Chain A
Amino acid sequence: MVQILIHILLLVIIPPLFLGIINKTKACFAGRKGMPVLQPYYDLAKLFRKKSVISRTTGWVFQAGPVVTVSCLLFAGLMIPFYRINPSLSFYGDLILFAYLLGLARFFTTAAALETGSSFEGMGSAREVTFACLAEPGMFLGFLALARLTGTLSLSGILTGVSLGAGTLLAPVLLVAAGLFIILLAENCRIPVDDPNTHLELTMIHEVMVLDHSGPMLGLIQYGAALKYFILGSVLVDILLPDSNQFFLIELGLFLGAMGLLSIMTGIVESVMARLPMRRVPNLLVAACLLCGVGFLLIGR
C-alpha cells in the first residue's frame, strides 16, 4: 500500500524536474546560467492560474485533447515500475495496453491540433503521426525481445527482470536499450528529431501542435510532455540499472540519480547535435527499429 502511494506520488510530482535538468544542462553547455531546475514547476503553476483564449474555429475535441492526453499518460505511468518500486498496476499483457494508451494520447493530441484549422498545426500533427508509425514497431520489437528474454508479458516483470549484470545477455539488452533511447528522443520530440526550443518554425513537431492552446490547457500539455519523458525514461533506466537488493531509500536514490543522468545525457545530445533534416528522421527511426530487431534476433536465435 505504501509502495503504491509512493509510486503514484513519484509519478505525479516528479516528472517536471527532469525537464528542468535537461534545460540546466543545455544552459551549462551554452555558457549561460540558465533557469532554475524547478522552473518547469513555476511555469506549470503560472499556466494553471492564467486564463485562456481559444480559437473560434475549434470545438470540444480541442479542449478534450490535453485532458485525454494527460489522463492516458497517467494511466500508462501507473504500469511502469520505477526501478524496484513496483507499479501500482501490473497484470499479464499490460505492455500492450501501455503502448495503446500512448496511441490514444497521440490520437487526441493530433486531432486537437487539427481542430484549429491552421496549416502549421496540421504540419505538426502530420509529422507526429508519421514518426509514430516508425517508432511504434520499434517499441514493440524492443518489448518482444525483452519479453522473450524474461518470459513474462507484464511490464513490471519485464522491466524488473532485465538488468545489466551477471545472468543476462549483455549485447541484446544494450541494443534494445539503444533503440529505445532513440525512440525516447523521438517520442518526446527532442533533438535530433525535433527542437523544443524554436517556436513557429517549419521544423516543429510538438510545439507547433500546441500553438493555440493556452492557460490551463497549455499547462496540461506541458505537464503531459514531462510525464511522457519521465515514463519512457524510466523504462530505459529500469532496463539499464543493474540488479540490486539494497535498502528502499538507496534504490530510490539510484533510480532518481539514473533518471537525472539520463536527462543530462539528453541535454548533452541536444547541445552537441543539430536537429536532423525532417527527411532524415525516418532513417533514424528505422535505425531504432533495426537495433531492437537485431536484439530480438540475438535473443531468439
Chain B
Amino acid sequence: MELNITVSIIFIATLLHLASGIPGFFLGRRSPMGQYLAALMAVIGSLMGLWGALLILNGPASGYYELPWGLPIGHFTLQLDGLTSFFLIPIFIMGALGAIYGLGYWKQSEHPENGRQLRFFYGILVGSMSLVVMARDGIFFLIAWEAMALSAYFLITTEDQDEKVRQAGWIYLVATHAGSLCLFGLFALFYRATGHFGFQPFQPGMVSPWILTSIFFLALIGFGFKAGIFPLHFWLPGAHANAPSHVSALMSGVMIKMGVYGILRVCWMIPSPPLSWGIILLILGTLSSLLGVLYALGQHDLKRLLAYHSIENIGIIFMGLGLSLVGRSCHHPDLIILGMAGCLLHIWNHGLFKSLLFLGAGSVIHATGTRQIDKMGGLSKTMPYTGGLFLLGAVAICGLPPLNGFISELFIYLGLFKTLMNGSGTQAVPFSLGLAAPALAMTGALAVACFVKVTGIVFSGEPRSEKAAKSHESPKTMLIPMALLALGCLMIGLLPLLVTPWLDKVIVEGNSELMGIGLKVDYLAPLGWVSGLGMGLLLMIGILFTWLRYRLIREKTPQRGTWDCGYAAPTNRMQYTASSFAQMLVNQFDGILKPKEHRPELKGLFPTSSHFESHIDDSILDRVLKPVIHRIQKGVYQFRWFHQGLTQPYILYIIVTVLILLALSSTLGDRFMSFILP
C-alpha cells in the first residue's frame, strides 16, 4: 500500500512537470503569469518527486506498478528501484532549478515569441526523462525516450531565427535518431531473447552469447549517442552551445546521463559480462575524457567549451562503469564497488557542477550579450556572486578537493590503483588497466588549465569590451538556483558519508553477487579522512585569509595599477586572451587538435589594421562526417527525381515498400520472420 503511494507521488510529480508549460498557452503572449505558474508547478512537482525518490532510496524495497491502461504493444509498466530513484534526484533538482532560473533568464516579457514554447518543452523534457528512468517495458521506454529526444530538439532550436541554431538542431536530431535506431534493434533483440519487452535480468545460459554481444554493442552505440561519448559526441557541442543556458544545464547536467542510465540498465541485465566489455568501456572513457578536455581548451565560445567538458566528464563516468564491469568479470568486488561508486557519484556531481557552470555562463551571457570569452573580462567586479559561484563550480569540475568532483574521481583512482594489487579475485585483472590512472591525472591537469583560463579570462583582469564593462549582476531568480547547486557541490565534497548509503543501496541492487559480502563504499575509500581534511583545509584557509584581509585593511593598503613594465599606455586589449592562454597547450597537441589559424598578411611599412583568427574544429563532425556526407550527397544526387515535393508520391513509395516487404515475408516464409520475432 505504502509503495503504491510512493509511486503515485512520483507519478504525479512527473505529470506536474509534463503539464507545467500548458497553462501558459491559455494566457496572453505578454502575460507573466504563465512563467510563474510553470515555475510553481515545477517546484511543487520536484519537491514531491524528490520526497518520493528519497523514500525509495532510504527504504528497503522498490515499487512496481502497472497502469491499467495498456499500450498497443507492451505494457505501461513503471518501477521504482534504487537506480531509478538515484537518477530521478538530479532530474527533479534541475527541473525545478532550471524553471526558477528561467524566470530571470528567459522572461516572457523579453521573449514573447518563444517563451511559452520553451517552457512547454522544458516541462516535457523533465517529465519524459523521469518516465525514461521509471519505464520497465521496452516500448514504453522508447516512447518516453523519443519524447525526451524530440522535446530536447525543440528546446535547442528555441531561437530558430538563427541559422546556426537550426543547424545545431538538425545535427542533434540526426544523431539522436541514429541512436534511437540502434535502440529499436536493441529491443527487437530483447524480445527475441526473452519473448517480452520487460526489463528482467537474463538467466545465465538462456541467451546465446552472440545475441548478448549484439545487445551490448547496440546499447553502447544507441545510448552512447545520447551520452555523448567519443566518437559519438559530435552533436553535443553545437547543441549545448546554442540552446538557452538553463536548457544547456538540464541537457548537459541530466539528459546526457540518460545514456549512461541505459547502458547501466542493460549491463545489469546481462549475467557475467566478458572482460573485454569492461575494457572497451574503460578505453572509450579514457579517450573521451582526454579528448574532451583537449578540445575544450581550444574553444573561445564559453558554452561550447563547457559542452566539451561534458564529453570529458562522460568519459570519467564511463571509466567508472568500465571498471565495475571489469570487476564483475574478474569477480573482484572492490573494483565493482569503487567503479560503480565513481560512476554513480560522478553522475550526480557532474549534474551539480556542470549545471552550475552552465547557469553561471548563462548569467554572464545575459549580462554581456556575447558567448565569446575573449570579449569578457573583469566580470567579478560587476557580478561578484556569479563570479564566486562560477569559481566554485570550476574548482569542483577540476576534481579538486574539498569539493564533490574529487570524491567521485577518488573512487575511480582507488579502483584503478586496485587493479595493480593482487586481490581476492579468481581471475587476474590485467595490470595495464592501471595506466588509465595517469591518463585521468592528465585529464585533471588539463581541466585545471582550461578552467583557470575560463575564470581568469572571463572574471579577472579588466573588461575587454564595452559590454563587459557595462555588465550587471543577475537577478535573484538566477542566483538562487546557482547557490543551491553550489551548496550541493560543497555538501558532497565535505560530507561524502551522507551519500554513501544510497550508493551502497544502488550498487548492491545491481550486483547481486555483492549481497552477502557486506563490503561498503566507505570501507574501501578513506572518506572520513577526506572530509576531515577538507574541513581542516577550509578552516585554515579561512583563518589565514581573515588574517591577511585584516592586515591589508589595517595597513590601508594602497591600490595602484598593475605593474606594466613602465609602459605608458597599456590598454585592456593587451591583456592575455583565452586563445593566447591555451596556445602553448594547443600547440603541444596540434597533431590531434589541428588548430586552424588565419594570419593577417602584413604589407608595407605601416600596415593598416588587420585581424587574426584561430579556431579548432571538431574532429569527428568537421573532419570525418562532413566530408563523408558531402561525398555521399554527391553520389545520391542521381536519385533527386524521386523527390517531387508532393505528399502523394511519398505515400506511394511507402505502399510499394510495404508491399515488397509483405511479398518477401510470404515467399521467405517463417524462416525470415523468425529471425525478427521468435
Partner of B448, one of A94, A118, A132, A148: A132
Interface size counted on chain A using CB atoms at 8 A: 78
A244 interfacial contact with B, CB 8 Å: no
Within 8 A of A (CB), among B407-446: 409-410, 413-414, 417, 420-422, 431-432, 434-435, 437-442, 444-446
**A149 nearest in chain B by CB position:** B420
How far apart are A185's CB and chain B's nearest CB, in angstroms?
17
Assess the B438–A144 pair: CB atoms within 8 A: yes
Contact assessment for A97 and B544 in the assembled complex, using a CB-CB cutoff below 8 Å: no
Cβ–Cβ < 8 Å partners of B445 in chain A: 103, 129, 132-133, 135-137
Kindly state whether residue A258 has any CB partner on chain B within 8 Å.
no
CA distance A140 to B462 in the complex (A): 37
Q: Does A161 contact B (CB under 8 A)?
A: no
Verify if B370 is at the interface (C-beta below 8 Å from A).
no
Q: List the A side residues contacting B512 at CB < 8 Å.
A: none
Contact, CB under 8 Å: A144 / B417: yes
A96 within 8 A of B: yes
**A148, B562: Cβ atoms closer than 8 Å:** no
The answer to whether B530 touches A212 (Cβ under 8 A) is: no
Chain B residues 542 to 589 lying within 8 A of chain A, measured CB to CB, are 544-545, 548-549, 551-552, 555, 557-565, 572, 574-576, 580-585, 588
Chain A's nearest CB lies how many Å from the CB of B184?
Answer: 41
Judge if B277 is at the interface, Cβ distance under 8 Å: no
Judge whether A174 is part of the interface by a CB distance below 8 angstroms: no
Q: How far is the CA of A135 from the CA of B438 in the complex (A)?
A: 10
A121 to B529, CA, bound (A): 36
Contact B525 A111 (CB under 8 A): no
Which residue in B387, B395, B441 is a CB contact (below 8 Å) of A99?
B441
Interface status of B377 (Cβ within 8 A of chain A): yes
Identify B452's interface contact among A67, A111, A153, CB under 8 A. A111
Chain A residues with Cβ below 8 Å from B462 are 57, 117
Which of A82-105 touch B at CB < 8 Å?
89, 91-94, 96-97, 99-101, 103-104
What separation, in Å, do the CA atoms of A52 and B560 have in the docked complex?
11
Q: Does B673 contact A (CB under 8 A)?
A: no
Please tell me if B124 contacts chain A, counting CB pairs below 8 Å: no
A137 contacts B448, C-beta separation under 8 Å: no
B45 within 8 A of A: no
Choose the segment among A1-9, A68-76, A233-241, A267-275 that binds chain B (4+ C-beta atoms closer than 8 Å).
Answer: A68-76
Contact of A63 among B399, B548, B561, B565 (CB under 8 A): B548
Q: Which residues of B contact A (CB under 8 A)?
A: 377-378, 380-381, 384, 387, 391, 395, 398-401, 406, 409-410, 413-414, 417, 420-422, 431-432, 434-435, 437-442, 444-446, 448-449, 451-453, 455-457, 459-462, 525-526, 529-530, 533, 536-537, 540-541, 544-545, 548-549, 551-552, 555, 557-565, 572, 574-576, 580-585, 588
**A interface residues, Cβ below 8 angstroms from B:** 51-59, 61, 63-64, 66-68, 70-72, 74-75, 89, 91-94, 96-97, 99-101, 103-104, 106-107, 110-111, 113-123, 125-127, 129-130, 132-141, 144, 147-148, 151, 153, 200, 211-212, 216-217, 220, 278, 282, 289, 296, 300
Please name 6 pairs of A and B residues whose Cβ atoms are closer than 8 Å in the assembled complex, sorted by A: A63-B552, A93-B525, A107-B452, A129-B449, A129-B585, A137-B439
Query: What 9 A-B pairs come out closest when comparing CB atoms?
Result: A122-B576, A114-B456, A117-B461, A129-B449, A137-B438, A136-B445, A56-B559, A140-B441, A55-B562
